[in-house]
Structure 1
Amino acid sequence: MILADSFVQSAEARDNEFSTNKNDVPLVVQFAAKTVDDFVGAAEMVVPYAGGVDLNCGCPQRWAMKSGYGVDLLGKPELVRDLVLQVRNRIPPPFTVSVKIRLLKDIRKTIELCQMLEKAGLSFITVHARTPQMRNEPIDLEGLRIVRDSIKMPLIANGDVKQLKDAKNLHENFNCQGVMSANGLLTNPALFAGYSKTPLTCIQDWLDITASIPTHFLCMHHHLVFMLEKILPKKDRCYFNNLQTKESVLEFIDNYYGIKPRVDNKCSELIECYYDIRPGKYFKEVLKNCSDEAFEDFMENIFIEV
């Protein structure tokens, strides 16, 4: 989930949050947004490099809700509709516009929201079958079924997918067109290939990727912490989780599994992204009372030809 306002305003944020390569398809970029300018602006920036954008209306974290993102948007259905509608009006298919939601306590309001978004041109919807107040409780399968039967657009089911059999159950028994996993895939990236825990090939792949593409240590280590959760003994896991440098992480993996990073040329073939930045609300104050000379300097520095 990328914050759309930061993505639009900051080149540093764009460089830190988004990268892709020619083999990275299909690719949908998920944004947290609460204004049309932010969501449309971010979508127009990534359209040359992605197949679609997704609006996160399902994040229940306190910081997101306090800032007006994630599930806070579920209480503002007209705003969500406008966010979808404006992107759909500006960027035609086959570029997709999707939304991820959670179920509302009143299932009728969930249905109304989904039907409203369908009319606005939503490509598909992802439904996490828990309410914003739920955490680890079993997902609401009946609520998911009711939503599925109330719309015609494709529905991606989410929640409690920890094994391949869980995904198959949702797909086969609830007439869903797709299945999403979040925590399950973090712990086991090979979940959809049928593995019950992370195979060493995934560890090798992640080391290769992070050796080929500049990656912050916290990101590199964090994903390994998840992947090793089910395959490392508790004592060794506690030790590994507290490592502080990339060198110590690589040494541990090498000593424990005999795995070293390999520079993979395919991973390193990044697409160099150029963003077409249009003047909007972020530049109004800059342009106000701007001299002709300063205006020319500003335009020369802010626009990139593509």
Structure 2
Amino acid sequence: MATIKSNETITDRLSDLSLLDQPPEILCPQRIVNEFKQVNICAPMVRYSKLPFRQLVSEYETHITFTPMILAQEFCLSSKARDSDFTTNETERGTFIMEESRSTPATHPSKRKIRGSLIAQFGGNNPLYMGHAAALLKNYVDGIDINCGCPQQWAYKEGIGSALLRKPDLVRELVRSIKGTCGEDFPVSIKIRIDDDLRNTSRLIKTAIQANVSMITVHGRTRRQASSHPVNLEGIKFAREEALSSHSNGNGEIPVVANGDIFSLEDANKTREFCGVNGVMSARGLQENPALFSGYDRIPLAGIERFLDLSAQNGFMFPLFHRHLADMLGPWFTSREEKKYFNMLSSPPSVIDFLEETYNIHPSPLPEIIF
């Protein structure tokens, strides 16, 4: 028998049930982050945030997902790059019942049924390639994001990623190029890191908003700070305040999403409260625990089984499939020897056998499995 939570009324429960039969609203990412509480986002992760993983996290309260960073120039010039760098399907976006963030009494929150969003992230510094690459994906995604924060040395040397943090005029050109090919109302966002000199962060945010950017994700570390360095929530809060003080682009407030050190739902909610944001983004936390936004300490074994099915249905290269499972199984391994043994497995059948024998995980049978 269903039970009513201590902070939930019978009216609330009936309202949720009535929404289940309604079609979901399809909103742009900016509106989702602005209009709803506790918006959860999967970060763009090189190699990792591909279709099977995005679909998995969407089944565990991740409302917006990002593709891995795609190199705009290569995507434009190479059909092989286009085939390997982007795949999607009709079911990868989740459907969620979400609570509105404003103008509702706490005792009777207003809820709506929403379809999640998919954002493609591009890396590049050439406006022409950026605009053309965005146009190629316009009809398959809900927005385009420009990577202005990748700290890897190769990206910096190529003049992309974090190399753009102190080039606000170039970022403006990149945004405007996408707007030129995709339309002024098409959502364009940027993902940045904070600068050692916050005046540079302020300048970049204000320039991007003037260019009609729709959302800004802020990773609370500088270009030179490793993931082991504590995230600077004050820096993210500063960025949010700068965005609030800038002029609106006519489509409402430009939301700031907080990114960095989100490893649990508690981390997410503490970050939301401190920074004053609705949206938080996780990378490494979701990598190990794709169910973290649903409040799990580790992904349930049923979630790992689901990942096997999604990987088989959509196709996944074995090394990446194996790496994902190693991350997810980390909290489940009972010894170093077990972890070492799993890491040495070298084929899909050996991995499936291990999961069946050790954790009683059984993927659904399919006529053909391609990894």
Alpha-carbon RMSD: 1.7
For 2:80 and 2:150, the matched residues in 1 are separated by: 24
Change (3 A) 1:225 1:177: same
Deviation at 1:172, TM superposition (A): 2.2
Partner letter of residue 178 of structure 1? G
Between the aligned partners of 2:126 and 2:268, the Cα distance in structure 1 is: 34
Percent of pairs with identical residues: 41
Higher RCO structure (Cα 8 Å, ≥6 apart): 2
Deviation of residue 246 (structure 1)? 1.5
Cα distance in 1 for partners of 2:184, 2:341 equals 49
Aligned partner of 2:126 in structure 1 is 35
Q: Distance in 1 between matches of 2:237 and 2:315?
A: 43
Structure 2, unmatched stretches of 5+, are 1-68, 94-116, 245-253
Q: Secondary structure at the match of 1:28?
A: strand
- 2:232 is matched with which residue? 140
Write the letter of the residue equivalent to 1:96.
P
Deviation of 1:93 after TM superposition, in Å, equals: 5.5
1:91-170 paired onto structure 2 within 5 Å = 91-92=182-183, 94-135=185-226, 136-152=228-244, 153-170=254-271
How many residues are aligned here? Answer: 266
**Take 2:278 and 2:349, find their aligned partners in 1: how far apart are those partners?**
43
Does the residue aligned with 1:151 lie in a helix, a strand or coil?
A: helix
* Larger strand share, 1 or 2: 2
Tell me the equivalent position of 1:191: 292
- Asked if residue 11 in structure 1 is aligned to residue 79 in structure 2, the reply is yes
Q: Residue 230 of structure 1 aligns to a residue in which SS?
A: coil
For residues 1-306 of structure 1, what are the structure 2 equivalents within 5 Å?
1-25=69-93, 26-92=117-183, 94-135=185-226, 136-152=228-244, 153-233=254-334, 234-262=336-364
Alignment match, 1:272: none
Residue by residue, what CA displacement relative to the aligned partner does 1:206-257 show, whole Å, maximum 9, x if unpaired? 1001111121111211111111112213211111112221121111111111
TM-score, structure 1 length as denominator?
Answer: 0.83
More divergent stretch after superposition (43-52 vs 245-254): 245-254
The letter of the residue matching 1:138 is: P
Q: Could you report, residue by residue, the CA deviation over 1:143-172 in whole angstroms, capped at 9, with x for unpaired residues?
A: 211111111310000001011011111212
Q: For 1:263 and 1:212, how far apart are their aligned partners in 2?
A: 10
CA distance in 2, matches of 1:143, 1:213: 39
Normalising by the residue count of structure 2, what TM-score does the alignment of the two structures yield?
A: 0.69
Cα separation, 2, equivalents of 1:245 and 1:260: 16
Give how far 1:56 is off: 1.1
Q: Is the 8 A contact 1:56 1:101 kept in 2?
A: yes
Q: Which has the higher helix share?
A: 1
**Range 106-115 or range 242-251, more displaced:** 242-251
- 3-state secondary structure, aligned to 1:75: coil
Give me the whole-angstrom Cα distance separating, in 1, the residues matched to 2:213 and 2:71.
20
Q: CA deviation at 1:94?
A: 4.8
Q: Distance in 1 between matches of 2:365 and 2:350?
A: 19
